Every structure is written in C-alpha cells, then in structure tokens.
Copies of this chain bind each other. A is one copy, B any other.
Amino acid sequence: MRHPTPTDKTIGRLSLYRRLLEQAALAGRSHAYSHDLAGLAGVTSAQVRRDIMALGYHGNPSRGYEINGLVDSIEQYLDQPGGQRVALAGVGNLGRAIMAFFTNRRPHLRIVAAFDTDPDKTGRLIAGCPCHPMSDLARVVDEQGITVGIITVPAAAAQAIADQFVRAGCHGLLNFAPVPLQVPNAVYVEDIDMTMSLEKVAFFARHHTTEEAVVS
C-alpha cells in the first residue's frame, strides 16, 4: 500500500466519484476538473483533490483529470482484482428488493447466495440467485469464498446471523437490521438504519427552515 489507508468517508466518496465519472464518460466527456466533479458530487473541489491524493493518481493542471484514467485508478484502488462474492441472509421484502437492486449493477460485487429459514423460499432461484436454508450458511460461505454478508433478517435474529457470517470468514457486513451488531474489530460493519434515517429527516424537515431564517 503506497499511501496510508484513508478513512471511511473518503472511500465512500471515491465510490461516488467513480459512478459520476462513468456517467460523464458515457455522455462523451474525456476530462474533468476537480470543481466539475465537486459540483456533481455535492462537495467542494478541495475535498475532491484530497480524496484523489489517496489514489496516487495525478491530474493535469491545464486539462484537469483524464476521466478514463481516473476511473481505472479508482477501480484499482477500491476493487479486488477478481471481484468479491456477496451473500444475503433474510429473503423478505427488503431482501428481495436488494437482490434485485444489485443484479447487474456492479459486476465485481455479485450476490451469489441467499439464505432464509422459510422452506418455501429455499431450494430455488430468487432474482437469479440460489436460496439456501439458513443452516447451510457456514458451508456455502466457505465453499464459495464469500467475503461480504448482507443482513436483512428481523432485528431479533440479526446478531446470530452476524456471528455465523463472521465465523464463516466474512470480514465485512452490511446490516439493515435496526440493532447495533457486536463483532470482532477485524470485521467492518456498515449499518443502514432506515428508521433512524427517516426520523432524522422528519426532525430536520421541521428545524432546517427556521434555522435558515435566524441568520447567525
């Protein structure tokens, strides 16, 4: 690793920049300045330049960043060469929606196995992906070399599923259950807590406005 591993937030923004750059490339653009990308991403140009420093990629003071080169550089930085395999536990409404959402979206991150306790769901394909009984989780995760787990089971079951993923060798979890998970600190957990997000939005829907009015 040539530069120190940057923080959480930088990684998130690099992922965003890549998507925006890919779109810009499709729209026929070949170069972009830091302030162009900043405008698309909703951040400052200084932020963009800082984030790009982490890549070791260098732009050109007169033409800015060469889009394809920068995308390649982000790819090399973020992605594992052969891609990574992902599993999802909990094939309810949300689980199915997420499986559909990620189908054909990022080919280097494929959901290759789903798990559920309901025998009606197991043993068949769901969104093009085999659904296994929950009891096979450890075996399938190990056999398929799965490194990332998505948790969409009810809150009460989430911790137990997380433990299984971790024991089976996953080092990253994306948790949609509204409970904080306890995991060894070699495991990275990203929580998506929709209830919390909605309550935040509702709160600021009432306060942002008034706040703007009061100048200071």
Contact = CB atoms under 8 A, between A and B. Distances in A.
Interface string A197-212: 1111111111111011
A141 interface: no
Interface class of chain A by DSSP? helix
Interface string A179-197: 0101001111110111111
A96 to B, nearest CB: 6
A193 B5 contact: no
Interface stretch (A25-33, A44-52, A61-69, A165-173): A165-173
Contact of A199 (B15, B147, B195, B197): B15
Nearest to A78: B203
Interface string A78-99: 1110001010000011101110
A173 B199 contact: no
Contact of A195 (B41, B105, B186): B105
Nearest to A189: B201
Contacts of A209: 171, 186
A205 B171 contact: yes
A124 interface: no
A106 interface: yes
A15 to B, nearest CB: 4
A148 interface: yes
Contact of A197 (B42, B79, B192, B195): B192
Contacts of A11: 199-200, 203-204
Contact of A174 (B19, B80, B198): B198
Interface string A145-171: 001101000000000000000000011
Interface of A: 5, 8, 11-12, 15-16, 19, 40-42, 78-80, 84, 86, 92-94, 96-98, 100-102, 105-106, 109, 147-148, 150, 170-174, 178, 180, 182, 185-190, 192-209, 211-212
10 contacts: A8-B204, A11-B203, A42-B182, A80-B202, A93-B97, A94-B100, A109-B198, A109-B199, A171-B208, A172-B201
